[in-house]
Amino acid sequence: MSWRIADASGFGIRFWTNGGPAVTGVVDVMSGTGHGAVAPRLGFSLPESKFHPPAARTGIVARTALVERLVATQAPVITVIAPPGYGKTTLLAQWAERIGSRVAWLSCDDGDNDPVVLLSALAAALDRIGPVDPAIFSALASSGADISVVPRFVSAIAAVQPPVTVVLDHAEAIASRQCLNAIAEFALRLPPGWQLALASRAELPLPTARLRAEGGILEVTADDLAMGPLDAAHLLKGAGAEVHEAALHDLLQRTEGWPTGLYIAALAMNSGTPHSDVGFTFTGDDVFMGDYLRSELLDRVSGAEASFLTRTSVLDRMCGPLCDAILGEKGSGRVLEQIEARNLLVVPLDRRREWYRYHRLLRELLQAELRQREPDLAQDLHFRAAMWFEANAMPEAAIEHAQAAGDYDRVARLILERQQPVWASGRVETVRRWMEWLSDVTAAEHYGAIAAHGSLFAALLGRAGEAERWVAAAERATPAGILPDGSTMQGTLAYLRACWCRNGVAGMRRDAQVALDGLSPASPYRATMLYTEGLSYLLEDDPDRAHPILARALDVSVHVGSPPLTGLILAQQCSVAARRNSWSEVTSLAERAVGIVQAGRFDDYWTSALVYAWAARAALHQGNISQGRLYLGRAARLRPLLTYALPVVSVQALLEMARCYITLTDPAGAAAVLTQTHDILQQRPDLGVLPQRAAELRSRLATIKAGAVGPSALTAAELRLLPLLPTHLSFPQIAAELFLSPHTVKSEMKSIYRKLGAATRAEAVTRSRELGLLEG
């Protein structure tokens, strides 16, 4: 869902500068220039090489006829689907060069399986053509985006004037359903005059039928890309190999025009050996390619070189020192230069010839070869690569290699180190993937601190069940040891318990105090714990004791730069002021809190529900009904995030919303939020005065005459579906997206339509937007 997430450190401590995410470590290792050319608005770094097609090499065959076809087409969507080695990238690169400067190029890789990364990278690529609305970067970073953010994304990038061509190369790297859905939605919403080209090894799940109906789609296949005699002759000649017509014919027959096959053959001939007469026939499968590679390449280079090639294939990018480190040798930098000079196996990633990568297909074949030749070695190689990347301050690359090496301790340590900035940069899925991986391969309780953070992340996303699983693991962990930031494990677990509030208000306060003792002085969580201590008095209906502590927490929160938490504390102070019946103070506190939320675009944060609920109450108290309704709609949108995983604030927000609905004489709305409150209180009954407040409101409700049942009666489950209504997803696809049964989604959709008074999906969307329940 597109609910935004405060990061787990005290519900929203980011490292902010001037209202935008601070640039954390955008040092572009890949460009070798020391500073990334990537828009610095990204909270994470992306390799510069991602944004360019590989440089045209000498001797490459011009695919003129195909390029002309692409140039001529009016179809907004172009797909190039063919097995590896067919020259998909080459074709698109030549086309891109032909159409000139208005191309946004993106080479996809595994890291793009986080919608925030994919869409941010796309926005950064577009920003190179023309300015996109910069707000989209922070909107994405704080969204934990999925398909529902695409409409907003499209309106932000639509500022780039057509013609614009977007190329997503290596789209097969994208496997996450969320990302694939986002691409499909983007394809359907392309602004007029834009083109989107996708190259992939396998079919992409695009809504092809609808695209055909809406302006067309051009599909380029392997048959189109297979080379004829003319192209093949060019290719061989360009690679420096001369062949007779008969040999060419034979080669074409065996490779079926597969360009890479032709190319490897040319290399073989180049290396001085006459062309082999191995009786291959092209089958296109991996075994064939592997055999082909072995006989045509590896058997023809020196043993040392072959082992260099296969062993370094564990790296997705490499430089001399890194290769030295994993091979335990010296002089790899020179070897890389030689390999590059002699043929086209490696691609330089920077002008200084420091970083290289293998051609993708070649790397896969080499990896398969490594598994066959030295099956036990890969793990060691990954282990050393992880060590090297960690020592060279590239922790995310280190995590990948440590995972491949099965080096769980290193993975855990690195995750703890990186989770904060990565989460704050919006890459929610990336952090979740790391954590899920660790809990899949080991028992989650081995890494208690990870489990503790995992539970908070899940709780902030409104996924109570998932949070509970992590909490159970954290509780099984040994409460001893020191974490990388200097906090004790005991303090960290106490922090978690204080948020979770399972042992009542007194327990919550005790936990907050234990956490304050154990957390490192630099820990950003300290502000949250101080605030929690103040909150505990509020829950005991002791505003006088709460007040000074909350004031101190507010100072700390402002000082450490945690706007979402600051907003939350201000909202709690509203409650203190309301107890004193000082409504002018409530109003000014609420205005300040809303200002913080809006400046930081925290509208979809869990913390903002209470802020908007109080803002609504303040507005209604002043008799400003329309403003009150607007704020109330904002708060209602966040209801799916309000669960028993973070019970105190969730219940507080719901109760304030209930008061607003009662003020508006909307008993159905009040009943809906009180029902949700009831569900939370059943799980967490010991929340101080809150259960009593809920009961009071319920009895007040009984005295109000029943009214019509409208949008305010939407349940949290129904509200969770709303953001997916404007997308192209069908009901069963929505069910799959949210892990619900299709029957449930269908029933809930009918109920949503009914409550919104809509009879079509479009009407439901319009109505939700009018009510502030949907963005846009």
Question: Which residues here bind another protein, judged by CB under 8 A?
Answer: 465, 667-668, 671-672, 674-675, 678-679, 698, 701-702, 705-706, 708-709, 713, 715-717, 739-741, 743-744, 747-748, 750-751, 753-755, 757, 759-760
Q: Which is nearer to another protein, 387 or 660 (CB)?
A: 660
Beta-carbon count within 10 A of 280 CB: 17
The distance of closest approach from Cβ of residue 739 to another protein in the complex, given in angstroms and rounded to an integer, is 8
Q: Which is nearer to another protein, 377 or 701 (CB)?
A: 701
Q: Which is nearer to another protein, 307 or 675 (CB)?
A: 675
Give dist(CA 564, CA 549) in Å, integer: 18
By three-state DSSP, how is residue 489 classified? helix
Cβ-proximal residues to 218 (8 Å cutoff; 6+ apart), any chain: 69, 70, 73, 75, 77, 78, 79
Q: Which is nearer to another protein, 259 or 667 (CB)?
A: 667
The distance of closest approach from Cβ of residue 207 to another protein in the complex, given in angstroms and rounded to an integer, is 17
Q: Which is nearer to another protein, 361 or 709 (CB)?
A: 709
Q: Which is nearer to another protein, 584 or 747 (CB)?
A: 747
The distance of closest approach from Cβ of residue 665 to another protein in the complex, given in angstroms and rounded to an integer, is 13
Phi, psi of 393 (to 5 degrees): 60, 40
The distance of closest approach from Cβ of residue 640 to another protein in the complex, given in angstroms and rounded to an integer, is 10
Q: Which is nearer to another protein, 58 or 739 (CB)?
A: 739
The distance of closest approach from Cβ of residue 409 to another protein in the complex, given in angstroms and rounded to an integer, is 29
The distance of closest approach from Cβ of residue 761 to another protein in the complex, given in angstroms and rounded to an integer, is 11
**DSSP element (H, E) containing 588:** helix 583-599
The distance of closest approach from Cβ of residue 611 to another protein in the complex, given in angstroms and rounded to an integer, is 25
Q: Which is nearer to another protein, 212 or 743 (CB)?
A: 743
Q: Which is nearer to another protein, 359 or 755 (CB)?
A: 755
Instruction: Assess whether the previous peptide bond of 484 is cis (omega < 30° from 0).
Output: no
Give dist(CA 608, CA 593) in Å, integer: 9
The distance of closest approach from Cβ of residue 567 to another protein in the complex, given in angstroms and rounded to an integer, is 28
By three-state DSSP, how is residue 17 classified? strand
Tokens 């601190």, residue located: 449
By three-state DSSP, how is residue 748 classified? helix
Quick check: 426 and 141 in contact, CB under 8 A?
Answer: yes
Give dist(CA 164, CA 191) in Å, integer: 9
The distance of closest approach from Cβ of residue 215 to another protein in the complex, given in angstroms and rounded to an integer, is 16
For 752-771, give one letter per residue: b (16+ CB within 10 A) or e: bbebbebeeeeebbebbeeb
Quick check: 583 and 618 in contact, CB under 8 A?
Answer: yes
The distance of closest approach from Cβ of residue 669 to another protein in the complex, given in angstroms and rounded to an integer, is 8
Quick check: 59 and 238 in contact, CB under 8 A?
Answer: yes
The distance of closest approach from Cβ of residue 147 to another protein in the complex, given in angstroms and rounded to an integer, is 21
Q: Which is nearer to another protein, 253 or 747 (CB)?
A: 747
Q: Which is nearer to another protein, 583 or 753 (CB)?
A: 753
Give dist(CA 261, CA 292) in Å, integer: 8
Cβ-proximal residues to 123 (8 Å cutoff; 6+ apart), any chain: 39, 132, 136, 137, 140, 153, 156, 157
Calculate the CA 405 to chain-centre distance.
24
Give dist(CA 322, CA 315) in Å, integer: 9
DSSP bridge pairs for 169: 107
For 439-464, give one letter per residue: b (16+ CB within 10 A) or e: beebebbbbbbbbbbbbbbbbbbbbb
